């Protein structure tokens, strides 16, 4: 089973939404993980709300720091705004998604970010 690791700084918004879409859209055929370089205490409540609007519940997930174990357990690493703090492991496929951070943004902007993430996840899964 192939695997995808979604990384952002706080593992509270973008990476959690991407992981939620990937879990839903891959129907369990891909191992989906997420992490951050500086994990927040909880998933962004606005991200939870906009995902819940479309029937995907990410409220039960907890932001976590990425580890070597996470990195070595996947084939694809998707980075979202973590720049130089995101790790590089030779032999992995890396994709960088320049997405706005939903932290502190109004609901309408977070919905736009959510929809952009969905489109990117759909494209990524189609390539696997």
Q: pTM value? A: 0.94
In a domain, 73, yes or no: yes
**Known catalytic residue: 8?**
yes
CATH, residue 45: 3.40.50.2300
**Known catalytic residue: 58?**
no
Separation CA 14–CA 54 (nearest Å):
16
Structural domains of the chain, count: 1
In a domain, 126, yes or no: no
- What is the chain's pLDDT, residue by residue, as a tens digit (128 residues)? 689 999 999 999 999 999 999 999 999 999 999 999 899 999 999 999 999 999 999 999 999 999 988 888 999 999 998 766 777 778 889 999 999 999 999 999 999 999 999 999 999 999 98
Separation CA 50–CA 65 (nearest Å):
24
Total Cβ atoms within 10 A of residue 72: 12
Of residues 50, 82, 99, 113, which has the active-site annotation?
Answer: 82
In a domain, 128, yes or no: no
Of residues 5, 8, 18, 33, which has the active-site annotation?
Answer: 8
In a domain, 55, yes or no: yes
**Known catalytic residue: 13?**
no
In a domain, 94, yes or no: yes
Of residues 18, 19, 46, 86, which has the active-site annotation?
Answer: 86
Note down the domain range covering 28. 3-121
Supply the pLDDT for residue 1. 64
């Amino acid at each position: 089973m192939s695997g995808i690791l979604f990384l952002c700084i706080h593992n509270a918004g973008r990476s959690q939404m991407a992981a939620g879409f990937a879990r839903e859209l891959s129907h369990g055929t891909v191992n989906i993980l997420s992490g951050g370089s500086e994990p927040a205490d909880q998933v962004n409540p606005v991200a939870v709300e906009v995902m819940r609007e479309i029937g995907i519940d990410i409220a039960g997930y907890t932001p976590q720091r990425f580890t070597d174990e996470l990195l070595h357990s996947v084939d694809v690493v998707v980075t979202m705004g973590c720049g130089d703090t995101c790790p590089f492991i030779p032999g992995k496929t890396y994709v960088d998604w320049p997405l706005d951070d939903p932290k502190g943004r109004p609901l309408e902007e977070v919905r736009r970010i959510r929809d952009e993430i969905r489109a990117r996840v759909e494209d990524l899964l189609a390539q696997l």
